[in-house]
A and B are shown apart, each in its own frame.
Chain A
């Protein structure tokens, strides 16, 4: 993918803006007054438990779901009136595999290019370019079932680039991939971002969010409950380090630190300087414990609760 076609970054160049964005389904308020601003060239994450409103936001950005209230622009356009123009300039990477099972890799991309208005010859050339980009030129005649999960994902990513999109909407892009394939996808996405693409990433994978996102929103029940850069959010909600202590034995946690008990485990969030004090206290009462760095998963769980939701 050439990077030359993308405009230079500019702080006030916003690819998505939302103000007071709402979406109701009958009595259910799926998105309840969300404000967000995604800058060109950044990877912006949407995090939240199931039902938090991530998918509804993505679909409103994709201009397939009308908004109930509020303002929304995508690439400076109004999804309510300019859906086709918006979709002509964005790429969508769905959760799971929706390639055409009866078509070869080449034809999957070629026919998709035609949906964006490419002529027959142009579509054929574009599909070849993309297969090369996905390093799957030698598998061009294979059907999806003949390819590995990682290869299919690469084709889906390539397909989202068929229109030289400026903005990619990614929904759980690495779910069900093996670790090698996941890392490959991450490397790829970082490369696209360096080329100037903007990414809107929906994920449950906190490791993925931490690696890829410049900034993110944590949503719960349709509302924004936290926003910021991953390191800042970790610092703010989970301090620097975490001690996990299996419950069952009574332990008086010092008041100076924040802690939570869920599912039989106590999580203590603290600054590095407090490490000696805490481990000393734990050793004194003879409790086994684990120390690790705080991560985005701690933030997510602290903010949205450790109990599983459906």
Chain B
């Protein structure tokens, strides 16, 4: 087996486990964003002035397209914080897996793959709901799936670094509260980045913003900004690679010595 094939076996294991309780898991991944979509899109959205929104967009579509990316971020992050930590400490699954031909770095790549798949599926629910409620979603949104996978892989890898350094579950709160939540609030999911004025350009290279920009263009059937595409193909994979290495280094120390 080649390296990627070995990582895929790890991912298959996780997918099998997921299937065991997919109902509960999907409910959490889908129900929550749906509630937000209802409250913000249909409730508050009705009160919004549309002049600040891109042409042809109502707030439901604006917020919903941002949600596609943020659901991917949250789902991938939570999976590789709580799920991976449980596998490492409580269940000693990492220990069992590295006693096979699979190496620690291959296990971590498998974890990131799984987070990417699971999170991308969860985020797919958002455009489906938008279509169901009658929003004019462009079929081009399907082209956004690879971008979602890359974004989720990135956040899955970042979460592994945090997980690897965490002494316990409580420690994740630093990352969730100080990194993920601010990113969720300030990456253009809720309001256009133009509001930041001169800082808007800086806000556009925040990882979640990159994903939001892409999905928002595609939902309208437009070609996404070149900058977002390039960053998705370079910055996110590059940082993912770096994060996976950092996570591996820490876990090597922690699990093996």
Contacts and interface: CB of A to CB of B under 8 A. Distances in A.
Q: Do A and B come from one complex?
A: yes
Interface of A: 25, 30, 55-56, 59, 62, 64-65, 83-85, 87-88, 91-92, 94, 96-103, 107, 111-112, 114-117, 163
Given A65-B256, A111-B13, A116 B100 contact: yes
A65 B99 contact: no
30 contacts: A59-B257, A64-B98, A64-B99, A64-B104, A65-B256, A83-B103, A84-B101, A84-B103, A87-B101, A88-B100, A88-B101, A94-B92, A94-B99, A98-B92, A98-B96, A100-B17, A102-B20, A103-B17, A107-B16, A111-B12, A111-B13, A112-B96, A112-B100, A115-B13, A115-B97, A115-B100, A115-B102, A116-B101, A117-B5, A117-B101
Interface in B81-127: 91-93, 95-104
Nearest to A169: B99
B1 interface: yes
A18 to B, nearest CB: 18
B201 to A, nearest CB: 45
B20 A117 contact: no
B198 to A, nearest CB: 48
B9 interface: yes
A85 B95 CA distance: 18
Contacts of B99: 62, 64, 87, 91-92, 94
Q: Is the interface of B mostly helix, strand, loop or mixed?
A: helix
A30 B257 CA distance: 11
A115 B5 CA distance: 10
A35 to B, nearest CB: 22
Contacts of B257: 25, 30, 55-56, 59, 65
A142 B103 CA distance: 29
A112 B9 CA distance: 10
Interface residues of B, number: 25
Interface string B1-40: 1000110011011001100100000000000000000000
Nearest to B106: A84
A164 to B, nearest CB: 13
B256 A94 contact: no
A263 B98 CA distance: 42
Contacts of B91: 98, 100-101
A229 to B, nearest CB: 29
B7 to A, nearest CB: 11
A89 B163 CA distance: 31
Point out which of A88, A114, A163 has the most chain B C-beta atoms below 10 A from its C-beta.
Answer: A114
Nearest to A96: B92
Contact of A115 (B9, B20, B104, B256): B9
Point out which of A103, A115, A116 has the most chain B C-beta atoms below 10 A from its C-beta.
Answer: A115
Contacts of B20: 102
A109 B234 CA distance: 39
B93 A100 contact: yes
A94 B5 CA distance: 25
The 9 closest A-B pairs by CB, nearest first: A98-B92, A92-B99, A115-B100, A84-B101, A98-B96, A88-B101, A117-B1, A87-B101, A111-B13
Contacts of B98: 64
Nearest to A84: B101
Given A98-B92, A98-B95, A117-B1, A111 B100 contact: no
Given A59-B257, A115-B9, A117-B1, A94 B101 contact: no
A110 to B, nearest CB: 9
A138 to B, nearest CB: 22
Nearest to B16: A111
A91 B99 CA distance: 7
A115 B101 contact: yes
B160 to A, nearest CB: 18
Given A59-B256, A111-B13, A115-B97, 15 more contacts: A62-B99, A64-B98, A65-B256, A84-B101, A87-B101, A88-B101, A97-B92, A98-B96, A100-B17, A100-B93, A103-B17, A111-B16, A112-B100, A115-B10, A115-B102
B9 A114 contact: yes
A116 B6 CA distance: 8
Nearest to B253: A25
A33 to B, nearest CB: 18
Nearest to B92: A98
Contacts of B95: 94, 98
A7 B189 CA distance: 65
A77 B104 CA distance: 20
